[in-house]
Structure 1
Amino acid sequence: MPPRNWKRFRASSLRDAMRACKDYALERRKLSVARIAELMGDVTEDSLYGWLSKSSMPLRLVPTFEMVCGAHFVSDWLAASAGRMVIPMPKGHKVSEAELLQINADCTAAMSQLAAFYADPSKVDTAELLELLQRHLEQVAFQHHNVGQYIAPQLEFEA
Structure 2
Amino acid sequence: MRIPKTKAAWRRLQPSNLREAFRLCKDYARQHHRRTVPAIAELIDETEDTLYKWLSNGKMPASKIPAYEHACGIDYVTQYLALRGHKLLIDIPTGKAAEMMDLNELQLVISQGMTLLMQFYQDQADPEETAEALTKILGGVAYHRANVACDEPELDLFAGAE
C-alpha distance in structure 2 between counterparts of 1:86 and 1:21, whole Å: 17
Aligned to 1:109: 112
Q: Tell me, which stretches of 5 or more residues in structure 2 are unaligned?
A: 158-162
The alpha-carbon deviation at position 155 of structure 1 amounts to: 8.7
The alpha-carbon deviation at position 57 of structure 1 amounts to: 1.1
Q: What is the aligned counterpart of 1:97 among 71, 75, 100?
A: 100
Aligned to 1:20: 24
Q: What is the aligned counterpart of 1:45 among 44, 48, 60?
A: 48
The alpha-carbon deviation at position 130 of structure 1 amounts to: 1.0
Aligned to 2:160: none
- Confirm whether residue 57 of structure 1 aligns to residue 64 of structure 2: no
TM-score of the superposition, structure 1-length normalised? Answer: 0.85
Task: State the structure with bigger RCO (CA 8 A, min sep 6), 1 or 2.
Answer: 2
Sequence identity (%): 35
Secondary structure of 1:123's partner? coil
Q: Which moved more, 1:51-60 or 1:92-101?
A: 92-101
Rg (Cα) greater in structure: 1
Alignment of 1:1-159 (within 5 A): 3=5, 5-41=9-45, 43-118=46-121, 120=122, 122-149=123-150, 151-152=151-152
Report Cα offsets for 1:72-92 as digits up to 9, x if no partner: 111111111111112122223
Structure 2 letter corresponding to 1:123: Q
- CA RMSD after TM alignment: 2.1
Alignment size in residue pairs: 152
